[in-house]
Amino acid sequence: MKIDENITMHQQDMQKVSVRQKVVKILVQVALYAFLILMAIIVLFPFYWMINSSLKTLDEYRLSVPTFWPHVVMWENYVNAFNTANLGRLFFNTMYVGIVSTILSLVITVLSAFAFARLEFKGKNILFAGLLATMMIPGELFTITNYGTVSAWGWLDSYRVLIVPFLVSVFYIYLLRQNFLQIPNELYLAAKVDGTSDLKYLWKVMIPLALPTLISITILKMMGAWNSYVWPNLVTRKEKYRLITNGLRNAFTETTGDVNYPQQMAAVALVSIPLFLVFIFLRKYIMKGVSRSGIKG
User: Which residues within the stretch 67-106 sit at the binding site for another protein (CB under 8 A)?
Assistant: none
Burial class (CB in 10 A: 0-12, 13-18, 19+), 260: middle
User: With contacts defined by CB under 8 A, how many residues of the chain interact with another protein?
Assistant: 113
Write the CA distances from 158 to 147, 163, 282, integer angstroms. Answer: 13, 9, 31
CB of 1 to another protein, least distance (A): 32
CB-nearer residue toward another protein: 20 or 200: 200
Q: How far is the CB of 4 from another protein (least distance, A)?
A: 27
CB of 284 to another protein, least distance (A): 11
CA distance 229 to 103: 21
DSSP for residue 270: H
User: Binding to another protein by residue 65, rule CB under 8 A?
Assistant: yes
Distances (CA, A) of 215 to 21, 102, 162: 46, 10, 22
- Least Å from the CB of residue 2 to another protein: 28
Least separation in angstroms between residue 5's CB and another protein is 26
Residue 212 CA to residue 206 CA, distance in Å, equals: 11
Q: Please, which residue, 2 or 296, has the CB nearer to another protein?
A: 296
Residues of this chain, 168-197, that bind another protein according to CB under 8 A: 168, 170, 173, 184-196
Select from 12, 27, 46, 88 the one that contacts another protein (CB under 8 A): 46
When asked if residue 252 is in the footprint of another protein (CB under 8 A), the reply is: yes
Residue 242 in 3-state DSSP? Answer: coil
